Amino acid sequence: MTEGPRSNAEQANYWTEQGGPNWVRDETSFDLMLAPFNPALLDALGDVAGKRVLEVGCGFGSTALALAGAGALVHGVDISRPMIERARVRAGDAPGSPTFAVGDAQEDPLGGPYDAVTSRFGVMFFADPARAFANIARATRAGGCLAFVCWQTLDRNPWMSEPSEILRGLLSDPPPAAPTNVGPFAFGDRGHIHDVLTRGGWSSVDIQAFETPVQMGGERGVAGAVEQALSSSQTKALLALGDSALRARAEAVIAERFAAIASADGSVRFPAATWLVTATR
């Protein structure tokens, strides 16, 4: 008996009720943190002027706006309604502005045909990634290009791993480490990415390391970085195992760690390791 497609309902619920509102609330911090990846994506896509570009997992529109600024005709799709609503506000309705839609890129019709597809950390959450990339391929013209960035493994990204490890160290009986084959680090393995894309109908897959410092907490320094660190789904799950005393202790220990590495201007930066992936339809 053939297994049916796995649903993204859990992700839709999370990004609508928790993740999306949190990102919109902290939009400035996330924009600053992820800003270094927009130039890398635009370079990978080449000249996009006049081309139809689909952005998958577009969030609140930062990359779509950058693409539109380079002359692309952009349509962004995201499973999070709060993020799409914010993206529409940011884009406005001027001629050439990106358009946005709430949608599941694994299952829903995506329009097209597009000349190019891109994503900034929006493709790692599919329940059935090969099926998702096949759906995306169907919306892309023959010869069209794909370019996205995704995180390498958790251990290569201390901006996420260090706060979680600090919290685990504060628990008397910490749970087993969460699996990394789902969630933001699901594409940490290059072989897995290549397999998913080829099964989804993409060829000439190229996977290059792209590493850059990222700034946490926006312009709010250590306090902002601590708040951002404790707002991730991983740290929230660990905080839920304790009480207010656990959170207070975690805030103090993480603040001490972040203060030790803060720059002279108070900003907190960590190395970040990603894959820059390109392929052809």
Structure confidence by residue, pLDDT tens digits, 90-123 = 999 888 999 999 999 999 999 999 999 999 999 9
CA dihedral 67, 72, 77, 82 (to 10 degrees): 50
Amino acid, res. 91 = A
Residue 35 Cα distances to 28, 43, 56, 234, angstroms: 10, 14, 17, 23
Per-residue pLDDT, 2 = 43
Q: Is residue 25 part of a domain?
A: yes
Q: Is residue 73 part of a domain?
A: yes
Q: Is residue 250 part of a domain?
A: no
The CATH code of the domain that includes 41 is 3.40.50.150
The total number of structural domains that make up the chain: 1
Percentages (nearest 5) of helix, strand, coil residues in the chain: 45, 20, 35
| Token duo for residue 258 | 């972040």
Contact 150, 208 (CB under 8 A): no
Span 37-82, pLDDT tens digits: 999 999 999 999 999 999 999 999 999 999 999 999 999 999 999 9
Per-residue pLDDT, 1 = 38
Span 149-195, pLDDT tens digits: 999 999 999 999 999 999 999 998 888 876 666 789 999 999 999 99
pTM for the complete prediction?
A: 0.93
Amino acid, res. 149 = V
Angle at 261 between CA 255 and CA 262, to 5 degrees: 80
Per-residue pLDDT, 205 = 98
Beta pairing partners, 100:
76
Confidence of residue 4 (pLDDT cuts 50, 70, 90): low
Q: Is residue 263 part of a domain?
A: no
The C-alpha R_g of the chain, in whole angstroms, comes to 19
Range of the domain at 38: 9-153+179-214+270-280
**Cα(157)–Cα(135) distance, rounded to whole angstroms?**
30
Q: Is residue 276 part of a domain?
A: yes
